Structure 1
Amino acid sequence: MLIAPLTASDRADWQPLWDAYLTFYETDLDPAITETTFSRLTTPGSGLHGAIARDASGTAVGLVHWLTHPATWSTSAYCYLEDLFVSADARGAGAGAALIEHVRAWAEHDGASKVYWLTAETNATARRLYDRVAARTGFVHYQIAL
């Protein structure tokens, strides 16, 4: 599994993964949001970061996006892993773990004090991986749409 930073030339490989990720979470986004998201992910200094996973044949099989932010419980930043997706036919081959490890290593190098993420309670396949590589915090997620 090869994990590499996302670049503008990855767009054709990233788009189907992004679309499948949105479908998995039953979400439709305005195409302008997708355009802006990809631009931010591939523009240094934007605050968003991305990487793409490729199998041994070079086929794109997964993506990960993350950002850092200041924290009130630490003098260093926290790293929020916002999006993680591996194509259904590539699951179980290590891409998810490799993408998480990529973010963990990046965050450690960047000086963050932790990496954290959210997932759906019903996402049993991913949660088996998450339970192996991270500690479940027991927090419950709430939000207010604006």
Structure 2
Amino acid sequence: MSIKVRTLGDKDFFSWLGLFEGYSEFYKSALTDEKALQVWSWIIDKNHVLAGAVAVNDEGDLIGFAHYREVPNTLSATRGLYLDDLFVVPESRSTGVGRALIEFAKQYATQHHLSTMAWITATDNEEAQRLYDDVATRTDWVTYEIEL
């Protein structure tokens, strides 16, 4: 199976939506039409910080996505790339799709002269962590969150 990764386009909405539903289900997050449309509008708005890419298989099916955005790195006075979301359909996991999406985001960061690329994942997402441990350095940072 060959994998092509490309930026998301206007015509990808319905295929992307199916992936985003799978992503939301994986993280046990209720997805409403309003949430999906809001995220989609961010991705396709060239003036918004959120961007996206999809992995496409030989049949032309979307089998994964990455959402990412540029962020400031204040301590180094540089800019980095934050990988907000990475999802691969279950039947395509462990086939190189996640790695290809990460590589695409890394190339984006390089082309835009960004200094770092970072992301988080759930502590129990061990399958993804095997890939992440292979392509990146696990940090000592602890994440906190306040819901408002």
Measured after TM superposition, the shift of residue 33 of structure 1 is 2.0
**Aligned partner of 2:127 among 122, 125, 130:** 125
Q: How many residues align?
A: 146
Cα distance in structure 2, aligned partners of 1:140 and 1:72? 18
Q: TM-score, normalised by structure 1?
A: 0.96
Of the structure 1 ranges 37-46 and 128-137, higher mean CA displacement relative to structure 2 is found in: 37-46
Gaps of 5+ in 1: none
Which whole-Å deviations, capped at 9, do the CAs of 1:37-58 have from their partners, x for residues lacking one?
A: 1011012121110001011221
For residues 23-46 of structure 1, what are the alpha-carbon distances to aligned partners after superposition, in whole Å with 9 as ceiling and x for unaligned? 000001332121011011012121
Instruction: Tell me what 2:144 maps to.
Output: 142
Structure 2: runs of 5 or more not aligned: none
Secondary structure of 1:41's counterpart equals: helix
SS at match of 1:61: strand
Deviation per CA, 1:52-86, whole angstroms, max 9, x where unpaired?
Answer: 10112211100000011112112221211000000
CA distance in structure 2 between the aligned counterparts of 1:145 and 1:29, rounded to whole angstroms: 18
Moved more, 52-61 or 26-35: 26-35
Matched residues in 2 for 1:84 and 1:136: separation? 17
Distance 1:95 1:45 in 2: 28
* Alpha-carbon RMSD: 1.0
The aligned runs of 1:1-146 (5 Å cut-off) are 1-146=3-148
- The separation in 1 between residues aligned to 2:86 and 2:7, in whole angstroms, is 14
Large movers: runs of 4+ above 6 Å:
none
Structure 1 Cα separation of the partners of residues 30 and 86 of structure 2: 17
Aligned partners of 1:68 and 1:62: how far apart in 2?
21
Partner AA of 2:114 in structure 1: A
How far, CA to CA, are the matches of 1:126 and 1:50 in structure 2? 19
For the 8 Å contact 2:21–2:31, the answer to whether it is kept is: no
Moved more, 36-45 or 113-122: 36-45
